[in-house]
Structure 1
Amino acid sequence: MLAWTGAVRSADLREEFAISPQQASIDLRGFAQETPGVTYDEGRKCWVRNQAFDLSAAGDLEEFLGRHPSMRHRLGFEELILPWQSASASIVQTLMASRLGRIPALIEYQSITSDMPTKRVVCPHTFVVDHLIMRFRAYCRKAAAFRDFRVSRVRSASLINDQGWVDGAADREWFEFVEVRIAPHPDLTPSQAMITMDEIGLPAFGGTVRIRKAILLYLLDGLGLLEAVQAGHGRPDKFARYVCENPGELMLFLPKRA
């Protein structure tokens, strides 16, 4: 609370921990004595932080709002609700039971390249949320390899006991990492480049993101770089914000362009 809003009151502790006013005051005084950069503001009747306060352990905004849901209303937060790829609760439950119980699942999967669902025996090891899409990474007996599946495209799922389990520890692409060198598009002005790169947490001149090989495709797609990297040049058109500086290294880990 103190890190994000700059102040904390006795009432905040009482609401958060259901403690008495006396206990809240004792806790705040003890915290202030042990924490540099915390002083009491007589005018505002609250504890405030100053420049000596260490903000490095504050966490991120979503974590803060999750711990203090009432702050969404107090600060005026509004969430943009976008379509989420729906998935049957029973299918997700079956996939989770498969993962936790190490029992293969028989699924009917509707691929975008097929007119009819196909049956596959899978051994899920990780669920991946990518923007509005939930996927799971699993060993697929039909492909005899580890593959990604969209949960929303699973039409049915059931546990089966007549097939062996393939552990996710064998998924080499999941445990191997690759570095993606990202820079601002050269057509951006210096101020545009600084803002654009700051949005993804990289310096204005560019930087490196380390990511699992298995989900490289989704990172590039999210940044608008996938087609450019698949084409080998890593530079989208002039309306793009980023360029990839090492497309040749990354092409090896991506599906070929149709």
Structure 2
Amino acid sequence: MLEGRKNARRLEFIEFQLTWRGRVGRADLQDQFSISPQQATNDLSEYSELAPRNLRYDPRQRTYVRDERFRPRLTRGSPLDYLTQLELCAADYRNRSEIWPDPVPQFETMTTTTRPVARETLQLMLSAIETGGILEMQYVSLSSDDEEVRRIAPHALANDGHRWHARAYDLDKERHSDFVLSRLDAVAVSEGGGEAVPDDKAWNTLVTVKLQPEDGLGDRQRERLEIEYGMDDGRMDLTVRKAMLYYYLRHYGFDPRPVRGKTMRNVSSFRLAIANIQEVEKNLERRS
């Protein structure tokens, strides 16, 4: 609906304000986009034509307010749309005058204190991914004191909810692995020297984790948990890359380490359980 419209962002802004603030006026558009009063009026009129049931003019407030029949037309209307704006502000990617919530509520976000990723390292990493080159690097591993220059063929970036990793083929160990970007000091990118880089089957394979409320919950607790996770008939199917399975399990409160013999405990801090635990355990493929 917005394809090709030069004022697409301003129309989305109007709907954002109606969704989360309940009203929007000409001055809001002028302040946010530094446009003329006439342009702001035109934008409001255009939105009213696109979604006539979403707003009505309130002469008492002298502004447009959300109509009772409101339904998002140009945006998802998801709470993530709002909360992501706060996260951008918290991470200093936007200042308070640049984000759309108005007024901005008091908020706080968790931050992870880690060694920053060097700009040169990320630049070389992106170059290697784009060209299919070999990245020479020094890597500080927690499982080894070895800090010699290593050679990897990266092909993707991944975030585990805590840190960014490079997904790459380790030419020395002859296997695909994850490398924490903040522990990596890139040295140079070179063209492949004829080394065969196999497909990353774990990255390209999808695995389904079937989550459900843990046993022993009361009916009310189970119902609330199903609502919280948007479960369908008491089940939520989570489809993830096999290479990311370990991280997703941790994200949902499980401990994927083999803490009972060689099998992970089917216990989550979020009161969840895995219905297909044997399949999930098989796909973890832990390394010693």
TM range (shorter): 0.7 to 0.9
Q: What's the CA shift for 1:249? A: 0.7
Verify the 8 A CA contact 2:137 2:151 in the aligned structure 1: yes
Q: What's the CA shift for 1:253? A: 1.8
Partner residue of 2:215 out of 169, 186, 197: 186
Partner residue of 2:201 out of 172, 188, 206: 172
Match of 1:31 in 2: 47
Match of 2:124 in 1: 94
Q: What's the CA shift for 1:28? A: 0.6
Match of 2:82 in 1: 61
1:48 aligns with 2:77: no
Matches within 5 A, 1:1-258: 1=16, 2-35=18-51, 36-55=53-72, 57-59=76-78, 60-65=81-86, 68-69=98-99, 71=101, 74-161=104-191, 163-164=193-194, 170-203=199-232, 205-227=234-256, 231=260, 232=263, 235-236=266-267, 240-256=270-286
- CA offset digits 1:75-100 (Å, max 9, x no partner): 33333333245322222222122212
* CA 1:19–1:72: 2 relative to 1, 3 Å: closer
* CA 1:228–1:91: 2 relative to 1, 3 Å: closer
Q: Could you tell which deviates more after superposition, 108-117 or 208-217?
A: 108-117
SS at match of 2:237: strand
Over the aligned positions, Cα root-mean-square deviation in angstroms equals: 3.0
Q: What's the CA shift for 1:63? A: 4.7
Verify the 8 A CA contact 1:104 1:122 in the aligned structure 2: yes
Q: What's the CA shift for 1:180? A: 0.4
Percent of aligned pairs with the same amino acid: 25
Amino acid at match of 1:44: Q
Using structure 1 for the length normalisation, give the TM-score: 0.84
* CA 1:17–1:172: 2 relative to 1, 3 Å: same
Q: Could you tell which deviates more after superposition, 179-188 or 195-204?
A: 195-204
* CA 1:189–1:207: 2 relative to 1, 3 Å: same
* CA 1:190–1:61: 2 relative to 1, 3 Å: farther
* CA 1:24–1:240: 2 relative to 1, 3 Å: closer
Amino acid at match of 1:54: R
Aligned counterparts of 1:257 and 1:147: Cα–Cα separation in 2: 11
Q: What's the CA shift for 1:188? A: 3.4
Q: What's the CA shift for 1:216? A: 0.7
- CA offset digits 1:97-153 (Å, max 9, x no partner): 221233210112222221222432111111112222110111221222322111122
Q: Could you tell which deviates more after superposition, 121-130 or 191-200?
A: 191-200
- CA offset digits 1:21-52 (Å, max 9, x no partner): 12211221221132032211222222222332
Aligned counterparts of 2:195 and 2:99: Cα–Cα separation in 1: 41
Aligned counterparts of 2:259 and 2:232: Cα–Cα separation in 1: 25
SS at match of 1:226: coil
Amino acid at match of 1:161: E
* CA 1:21–1:213: 2 relative to 1, 3 Å: same
Q: Could you tell which deviates more after superposition, 50-59 or 108-117?
A: 50-59
Point out where structure 2 has 5 or more consecutive residues left out of the alignment. Answer: 1-15, 89-93
